[in-house]
Structure 1
Amino acid sequence: MSVELDQSGPRPTEAEQERNFARVGAVNDEMKAQGIWVFAGGLLPYDSATVVRVQDGTTTMTDGPFAETKEQLAGFWVIEVPDLDAALGWAEKCAEACEAPIEVRPFDGLA
């Protein structure tokens, strides 16, 4: 599950961030207690990104995201649940906790 953040809008206040961190922490604790937690993490804002491309044997590195869009990947959870319905239930809890859209996508196998 990935967190989508519209970074074109105003940044949350410190109080809003603290409230969301507490709510996300509670959901994380619930996931761990139920044994579905694998990994989670937040990401720094998109302007901290470096994009690495290799084309025709030449490597280029540029600042910022590849796609110019206002919605950016802000963080993610990796969970192990039995089916899509269970994943969507957790996505609902996560969306409410962090007040951001959550995209649910299964792995294409595990490496």
Structure 2
Amino acid sequence: MTQYLVAIHHPDDYDPFVAEDAAMDRDIDALNAEMQAAGATIFVGGLKPVASAKSLRANGEIVVTDGPYTEVKEHVGGFWVLEAANLDEALVWGRKAAIACRAPVEVRAFH
């Protein structure tokens, strides 16, 4: 079985306290339970807002700066690492994640 990253993307100004309601929480909890029951879950995690990120660059020395590495309008807000038989199976989980999280999702296999 291959491992896949299923990543949720949020806009930079995403505020989970405003955007996430009880219905969304229930949908995500139900999806997590379904993934666990199927034996697909390796790891799952939500990330703090992108403003809390620190970026490190090696330019002869390590330079630490506030904020994300790249300046984009969206960022990864949370993710699952799942085990799936193939990409089609991983995409089924990705579709369910997009519905539960009400956000764009990226599905990508690990090497």
TM-score category of the 2 structures, normalised to the smaller one = 0.7 to 0.9
Percent of pairs identical after alignment?
42
Partner of residue 3, structure 2: none
List structure 1 runs of 4+ shifted beyond 4 angstroms: 12-15
Query: Match for 2:64 among 36, 61, 65?
Result: 61
Is residue 76 from structure 1 mapped to residue 79 from structure 2 by the alignment? yes
Is residue 102 from structure 1 mapped to residue 87 from structure 2 by the alignment? no
How many residues are paired up?
Answer: 106
Q: Provide closer, same or farther for how the CA distance between residues 19 and 91 of structure 1 changes in structure 2, counting only shifts above 3 A.
A: same
TM-score w.r.t. structure 2 length?
A: 0.88
TM-score w.r.t. structure 1 length?
A: 0.88
Aligned-partner Cα distance in 2 for 1:55–1:15: 38
Q: Equivalent residues in 2 for 1:1-111 (5 A)?
A: 1-8=6-13, 11=15, 14=18, 16-56=20-60, 58-108=61-111
Question: Deviations for 1:32-79, whole angstroms, at most 9, x for unmatched residues?
Answer: 1011111100000000001111122x1100000111111011000000
Q: Tell me by how many angstroms 1:14 deviates.
A: 4.8
Aligned-partner Cα distance in 1 for 2:77–2:16: 13
Q: Which has the higher contact order (CA 8 A, sep 6+)?
A: 2
More strand by share: 2
Aligned-partner Cα distance in 1 for 2:30–2:36: 10
Unaligned 5+ segments in structure 2 are 1-5
Aligned-partner Cα distance in 1 for 2:16–2:45: 18
RMSD in angstroms over aligned alpha carbons?
1.7
Aligned-partner Cα distance in 2 for 1:103–1:24: 16
